A and B are shown apart, each in its own frame.
Chain A
Amino acid sequence: ETGVTQSPTHLIKTRGQQVTLRCSSQSGHNTVSWYQQALGQGPQFIFQYYREEENGRGNFPPRFSGLQFPNYSSELNVNALELDDSALYLCASSPQGETQYFGPGTRLLVL
């Protein structure tokens, strides 16, 4: 176990809705990265938060947004959900610039 926790474990939404996913980082880790993993593929980088600021972003539209809190936990928000947003959403925590350790993920299904 990495000490990274995510909630909820599973979620079903309909197109157009909004979703918030949560991540608690491992103790001592000040950086949280979010990844989207479609079925049968490798994780794709969404963005990273370091000390409550976005610190790098992948090729995802603005309807994907996030927050990091003073305790380094983080949220991923997705607005106007589309069918293709169905995926496993992973967060990974790390000390800045060091190895990223992943949580178990949140499985999102958009109908």
Chain B
Amino acid sequence: GESVGLHLPTLSVQEGDNSIINCAYSNSASDYFIWYKQESGKGPQFIIDIRSNMDKRQGQRVTVLLNKTVKHLSLQIAATQPGDSAVYFCAESTGSNDYKLSFGAGTTVTVRA
């Protein structure tokens, strides 16, 4: 069956450094990928998305890279700030009629001052 998972459950980053969060997926039919950030006690917050016809997309301080050959997705955060401390989830969808999202277990990012 399909699964979406992150390579590492935790990541500790020095403030000001760049962060890279990785995600592997197994469903080759997946064609839409999203990164969400979830802070304690809150719902997931949309960060950035990418469709399978692209391999890179940039936002404000964030970049998502998609490698369909090895079914790998990554989120890069530039100049990590204390407010970036949260759990990060990648989610994927096959773009089928219900557009359901399948989430991995998440990576907890802790920013050291």
- Residues of A whose CB lies within 8 Å of any CB of B are 2, 4, 31, 33, 35, 40-45, 48, 55-58, 90, 92, 94, 96-97, 99-105
Contacts and interface: CB of A to CB of B under 8 A. Distances in A.
Contacts of A33: 99-101
A64 to B, nearest CB: 14
Interface string B4-39: 100000000000000000000000000000101000
Contacts, number: 67
Interface stretch (B55-63, B67-75, B76-84, B103-111): B103-111
Which A-B residue pairs are the 3 nearest by beta carbons? A56-B98, A42-B103, A102-B43
Contacts of B101: 33, 35, 43, 45, 92, 100
27 contacts: A33-B99, A33-B100, A35-B101, A40-B105, A41-B105, A42-B91, A42-B104, A42-B106, A43-B44, A43-B89, A43-B101, A45-B100, A45-B101, A55-B97, A56-B100, A57-B98, A97-B95, A99-B46, A100-B34, A100-B46, A100-B101, A101-B46, A102-B43, A102-B46, A103-B43, A104-B43, A105-B42
Interface of B: 4, 34, 36, 41-46, 49, 89, 91, 95-106
| Residue from the set A31, A33, A92, A102 with the largest chain B CB neighbour count within 10 Å | A102
A58 B102 CA distance: 10
Contact of A56 (B34, B43, B97): B97
A45 B92 CA distance: 12
A50 B48 CA distance: 24
A104 B42 contact: yes
